[in-house]
Amino acid sequence: MSPLAKIVPFSQQFLAEVLRPGDLAIDLTAGNGHDTLQMWRAVGRDGTVIAFDLQEGALAQTARRLADAGVDCCRHSSPPEQWSSGLHLVHAGHERLQLFVNSAPRAIIANLGYLPGSDKKVITTPESTLAALDQGGELLAPGGRIAVVVYTGHSGGAEEAEAVENWFAALDGSTWETLRLSVANRADSPFLLVAEKK
């Protein structure tokens, strides 16, 4: 596949444009840890990255990826009194975002669908994803961005894609800028939705 058709690096790039050392960044779907690590590189040791996942296996894979890159992380299953700078892995669904986070992140990312190489029946759902987006949209700092990579090829994917696309389309144009990036000649390819808070 040509680099042009790979959507995930575009999502990371759009967030790297607004992230600065010391910022707070949220990964709603830790998965294999690729986005988590890229956000950490953008915010640096003085920054904070909080990555959520329901699957213990995903958090273990993310922790391994981080360790291989020389990055330490802390694990949480309940909200700490206060987040320290550093990288934090949260064993919880992203719909619980505001239970764990009350500060304003500069960037929020999600890769929807299922964890590659795992049970394809364990997927993100429209209900949990929309709850996380609602909460993330409220928390996001002005000038911050939300990037969501949407997959349609799995069971439930098309329904979630429609719900998420409708969420982005309904954002108030006076306070949000939005973008949809897709591979024009491959209908079943993942696509990217980005929103920037004014």
What integer pLDDT is reported at residue 4 of this predicted model? 79
Domains of the chain: 3-197 (3.40.50.150)
By CB atoms closer than 10 A (0-12, 13-18, 19+), residue 127 is: exposed
pLDDT at 63: 98
Residue 76: per-residue pLDDT: 98
pLDDT of 120 reads: 76
Query: Which residues have a Cβ under 8 Å from the Cβ of 117 and sit 6 or more positions away?
Result: none
User: pTM for the complete prediction?
Assistant: 0.96
Question: What local confidence, expressed as pLDDT, does residue 161 receive?
Answer: 96
For the beta sheet containing 176-181, the strands, ordered from the edge strand earlier in sequence to the opposite edge, are: 74-76, 86-91, 48-53, 24-27, 107-111, 145-150, 191-197, 176-181
Q: Across-strand partners of 26?
A: 50, 108
Give residue 144's pLDDT: 99
Identify the pLDDT of residue 177. Answer: 99
pLDDT value at residue 64 = 98
Q: For each of the chain's 198 residues, which pLDDT tens digit applies?
A: 777 779 999 999 999 999 999 999 999 999 999 999 999 999 999 999 999 999 999 999 999 999 999 999 999 999 999 999 999 999 999 999 999 999 999 999 999 998 887 777 789 999 999 999 999 999 999 999 999 999 998 888 899 999 999 999 999 999 999 999 999 998 889 999 999 999
State the virtual CA torsion across 56, 57, 61, 64 in degrees, nearest 10. 60
Task: Identify the CA nearest to 48 among candidates 29, 67, 76, 27.
Answer: 27
Q: Which two tokens stand for residue 65?
A: 């990826």
pLDDT at residue number 73: 97
